[in-house]
Chain A
């Protein structure tokens, strides 16, 4: 059923008790033309674009838990393309363009809100770097605007912009088209649209092994039996190392926990996304009214999907330093997600050294905003057997070849990106 004002009115007449299920829950078939491991945004988007752009609809998405229960439901919902290096700029801008029309594309309201993303600048060196990045963005056709301290003070009165602030603000780089998207709706929207094109979405089905014959993918062993396929795409960021190990591949990745948290819900107070690299902090207000905030990794290897209190204390103290009035709020809850931290801070969307095996992963902090482009390009790579120009740089081989895409120039230290 197509969602519209008419379907809403029709279902209102029957007290919303007769809405059809948004997607089926089929039994797995014995074989598929392609299998995608991971029923988060990236895996579901991969399946959707395989069916829509490449006509490959005999596809299964295998999810060990429930749809969107991993990082798709654990991020801070921010989308932006304010990167510096060409490969990242083009990739994330492609993603942002897909976000802008995604609700229409999927016939599902993902609540894209172009409320702007503001990176605060606290020192002259910070300002030089921000202006350089803003100019690089504008040269690539991406919107960027530098705001003075006075402009920021008028725009965000809650922010402590006084010269005596703990972290004095001297300006900020704004990307007006950046903003937020309702994260759960992304998984549900892609799932529904993929299902409508014939994709089988199979939840509670964990991949336990990858079968390789004569150097090529033959299928996967799962908790619901063996399923044959020649094309296997991995979209399990956080657990990419574990899946790749099933195919005998070691990745340049460490898994780390990244925490986020929300305050109690309050009336609208913050109308944009504010972040500060210097104090390791970012914040926005959800449509429910909670202030959503996050900071750095916990900085140790983890698959636990929960972190420790010192990181939360750091985030909250940064929040109170920048927004003193928010110190009156109580914290409602916190959670953790597991990040694939790569050795250069950039993702891997590429063929792996087994025929028929591809992955999209290595997202570090940047996975949610990449969802549509990641799925689009992963599907392209699976269908064509070769990368698109937009993901040609995001190979696994770049680490051995010395072609790192290292935004911060931090070197091969996963926690540093």
Chain B
């Protein structure tokens, strides 16, 4: 069972959350070349190890949460509001 620390609600059971995927993706500007959009929509680093990702606290406060989680062990290393940096900076 994942215990996800929501910055607003505190530690909560994973079943309250919906997974939102890689948090490091940056949406390109609307006039960016098609290659930039292709990378944003389709390509993923898919790391084996610490992964910065988004979770929506859909059955709780309904706000997005940024989580750093190790994909090898499922250990949650840190969490933050989506507009804040995780401790230790970018992965």
Contacts and interface: CB of A to CB of B under 8 A. Distances in A.
A301 interface: yes
A310 B14 contact: yes
A304 B74 contact: yes
Q: What does DSSP make chain A's interface, helix, strand, loop or mixed?
A: mixed
Contacts of A415: 19
B43 A308 contact: no
Contacts of A412: 41-42
Contacts of A29: none
Interface string B5-23: 0000000001100010110
Q: What does DSSP make chain B's interface, helix, strand, loop or mixed?
A: mixed
Interface in A270-317: 299-304, 308-310
A102 B20 CA distance: 42
Contact of A239 (B15, B48, B51, B73): B48
Given A308-B2, A415-B19, A301 B42 contact: no
Contact of A255 (B19, B42, B71): B71
B91 interface: no
A304 B71 contact: yes
A254 B44 contact: yes
A138 interface: no
A235 interface: no
Interface in A332-364: 343
B26 interface: no
A300 B43 contact: no
B84 interface: no
A21 interface: no
A239 B71 CA distance: 12
Interface residues of A, number: 25
B46 A399 contact: no
Interface in A226-242: 239, 241-242
A251 B46 contact: yes
B76 to A, nearest CB: 11
B2 A399 contact: no
Contacts of A241: 44-46
A47 B71 CA distance: 31
B1 A303 contact: no
B70 to A, nearest CB: 9
Nearest to B43: A250
Contacts of B73: 304
B72 A400 contact: no
A385 interface: no
B48 A399 contact: no
B71 A252 contact: no
Name the residue among B14, B35, B39 with the largest chain A CB count within 10 angstroms.
B14
A382 interface: no
Interface in A360-417: 399-400, 412-413, 415
A45 interface: no
A399 B35 CA distance: 11
B48 A242 contact: yes
A303 B42 contact: no
Given A241-B46, A308-B1, A310-B1, A302 B74 contact: yes
Interface in B40-90: 41-46, 48, 51, 53, 69, 71-74
Contacts of B42: 252, 343, 399-400, 412
Contacts of A250: 39, 43-45
Contacts of A199: none
A253 interface: yes
Contact of B44 (A253, A302, A309, A310): A253
28 contacts: A239-B48, A241-B44, A241-B46, A242-B48, A250-B39, A250-B43, A250-B44, A251-B46, A252-B43, A254-B44, A255-B71, A299-B19, A301-B51, A301-B53, A302-B71, A303-B72, A304-B71, A304-B74, A308-B2, A308-B74, A310-B14, A343-B41, A343-B42, A400-B38, A400-B42, A412-B41, A412-B42, A415-B19
Interface of B: 1-2, 14-15, 19, 21-22, 35, 38-39, 41-46, 48, 51, 53, 69, 71-74
Interface of A: 239, 241-242, 245, 250-255, 299-304, 308-310, 343, 399-400, 412-413, 415
Nearest first, the 9 A-B pairs at minimum CB distance are A241-B46, A252-B42, A250-B43, A303-B48, A399-B42, A300-B19, A303-B71, A299-B19, A310-B15
